[in-house]
Amino acid sequence: MISNSVNPFEEVKKQIDIIKEKIGIDPSVAEQLKHPRQIISVSIPIKMDNDRVDIFMGHRVQHNMWRGPYKGGIRYHPTVALDEVKALAAWMTFKTSVLDIPYGGAKGGVICNPKKMSEDELERLTRRYTSMIIDVIGPFKDVPAPDVGTDSQTMSWVMDTYSSIKGYSIPEVVTGKPISLGGSFGREGATGLGAAICTRNAAKKIGLKLRGARVAVQGYGKVGFWSAKSLDEMGCKIIAISDTGGCIVNKNGVNPDKVKEYKLKTGSVYEYKGCKNIPSDDIFELDCDILVPAALENCITDKNCDAIKAKIISESANGPTTPAADQALFEKKIFVIPDILANAGGVTVSYFEWTQNLNRDRWSLENINRRLEERMNIAFDGVYKVQKSRDESMRTAAYILAIKRLEEAHLKLGLFP
């Protein structure tokens, strides 16, 4: 989504320049990171259930592969735009670098409204899109995963289409699959759990007790739900949840599972029992300790950031904060855990899934969650150390860490030819 006239890819380029100024990275590294390596745009013809043929625009943006194969989700949403997918792909490059996992960054997007399409239409769309990008994806080239509007079923269709065309079963071409197809235990909740682990680290740093800490979660899809559930299990109180239908507030806390059940039945969290109902956007102004943006980009802006009362913002979504708001939050001394760190649990467990697939192996949930926690803690500490030593925001520190690693990799690789 591009709102508030913020073009996310222009902001990515500015961010790279800021880091270049601050730490003096190689100018060619900065320039290359400002240009995605390859962009594939396709017009996807799909026979709809009413027999009409509709055309959907789709993209796959491959941003960088110095540190490993391209990696990133596929988004289905009506507001998908090419510059948005470019930004999302670049954020994947930085995210995999912050977590030090051996991937580059990519992202896919199709302009469609999955909520208004039938299962059959979505299957045809996914299979045709996969067939149109088949030459550029692959287990060692570019490994897609779910994102907004896609899920494990979507990944099953990608795997089946890819395997059918290649002539043998290739589960490692995608991550985020169902367990029955080689998906990993813990993948579904990984983004939310990773964000909760970062939040616990941040709380410790500012002396906030997690037990009883009041949490507001904006967006209640997979990531919002699992963030709420993980924080609830750590002892926090989920006092507000919003989605596009509205926002529910209960000072005593709600049960994340029960709210999810209710949403599955009614389509929204709105008017869940025992809660006060307020407009969705009012969630940002609530008196709470932890705010978890878990929806789309550009939700925290210069218009609403002054009203934010949270002590910690844990960015489960990609790009939820505009640059102007980011600066204001830094000045307000709010502890912002940036998206490229906070929501990296998803791609981390995607990496575990890929590793298991390549080894024809399966790890237990305890093993996966232990490894995830270890990786998230190491990444958090690494970013925090840079932040402390340079007196920067956590976001700037995360970019410094990510871009330094990318520079190091590139300088070793050299430039072909």
Binding piece for ligand GLU, criterion CB under 6 A, among 11-19, 322-330, 343-351, 365-373: 343-351
Least gap, CB of 318 to ligand GLU (angstroms): 5
342 binds ligand GLU (CB under 6 A): no
User: Minimum CB separation from ligand GLU for residue 75, in Å?
Assistant: 8
Query: CB 353: neighbour CB atoms within 10 A?
Result: 29
Interaction between residue 350 and ligand GLU (CB under 6 A): yes
| SS3 of residue 108 by DSSP | strand
Considering beta carbons, is residue 194 or 382 the nearer one to ligand GLU? 194
Per-residue b or e along 256-288, where b marks 16 or more CB atoms closer than 10 Å to that residue's CB: beebbebbeeeebbbebeebeebebeebbebeb
* Interface with ligand GLU, residue 343, by CB under 6 A: yes
- Contact between 311 and ligand GLU by CB under 6 A: the answer reads no
> How open is the CA angle 173-177-183, to the nearest 5 degrees?
95
Among 299, 347, 379, 409, binds ligand GLU (CB under 6 A): 347
Structure-token pair, residue 349:
């467990």
Output the six-digit token pair for 43. 């017009």
Contact with ligand GLU (CB under 6 A) among 89, 98, 145, 294: 145
In the bound state with ligand GLU, the residue whose beta carbon lies nearer, of 123 and 297, is 297
Distance of CA 74 to the CA centre of its chain: 11
- Asked if 216 and 239 touch (Cβ cutoff 8 Å), the reply is yes
Size of the site for ligand GLU (CB under 6 A): 11
> Is 194 an interacting residue with respect to ligand GLU (CB under 6 A)?
no
- Residue-level length of the chain: 417
**What DSSP designation does 218 have?**
E
Q: Which is nearer to ligand GLU, 33 or 240 (CB)?
A: 33
Q: Phi and psi for 241 in degrees, rounded to 5?
A: -140, 135
User: Is 407 among the residues that bind ligand GLU (CB under 6 A)?
Assistant: no
Pick between residue 347 and residue 401 the one whose CB is nearest to ligand GLU: 347
In sequence order, which residues have a C-beta less than 8 Å from that of residue 75 and are 6 or more positions away?
85, 88, 107, 108, 109, 110, 147, 148, 149, 150
Report in angstroms how near the CB of residue 348 gets to ligand GLU at its nearest: 8
**Measuring CA to CA, which residue among 344, 320, 315, 338 is closest to residue 93?**
344
Is residue 256 involved in binding ligand GLU (CB under 6 A)? no
Least separation in angstroms between CB 380 and ligand GLU: 16
Tell me, yes or no, if 86 is annotated catalytic: no
Provide, rounded to whole angstroms, the least separation between the CB of residue 285 and ligand GLU: 27
Q: Is 219 in the site for ligand GLU (CB under 6 A)?
A: no
Residue least distant from ligand GLU (Cβ): 73
* Binders in 50-89 for ligand GLU, by CB under 6 A: 71-73
Helix, strand and coil percent figures for the chain, each rounded to 5: 50, 20, 35
Q: How far apart are CA 226 and CA 47, in angstroms?
A: 35
| 125 vs 75: CA distance, rounded Å | 12
96 with 347: CB under 8 angstroms? yes
Rounded to the nearest whole angstrom, what is the least distance from the CB of residue 147 to ligand GLU in the complex?
Answer: 4
User: What is the Cα–Cα distance from 25 to 403, expressed in whole angstroms?
Assistant: 8
Q: Is 150 in the site for ligand GLU (CB under 6 A)?
A: no
Residue 68 near residue 102 (C-beta atoms within 8 A): yes
- The verdict on 228 binding ligand GLU (CB under 6 A) reads no
Q: Residue 47 Cβ, how far from ligand GLU at the closest point, in Å?
A: 28
Amino acid at 220: Y
Which of 32, 93, 130, 175 binds ligand GLU (CB under 6 A)? It is 175
- Looking only at the bridges linking them, the beta strands covering 276-278 and 335-337 are unpaired
Q: Which of 86, 107, 229, 311 is catalytic?
A: 107
Residue 135 Cβ, how far from ligand GLU at the closest point, in Å? 20
Query: Rounded CA gap, 417 and 406, in Å?
Result: 19
Nearest CB to ligand GLU, comparing residues 145 and 394? 145
Indicate which single residue of 130, 152, 242, 318 sits in contact with ligand GLU (rule: CB under 6 A).
318
State the DSSP code for 271.
T
Q: Does the footprint of ligand GLU cover residue 154 (CB under 6 A)? A: no
Residues belonging to the active site: 107
Residue ranges that bind ligand GLU, judged by CB under 6 A: 71-73, 145, 147, 175, 318, 343, 346-347, 350
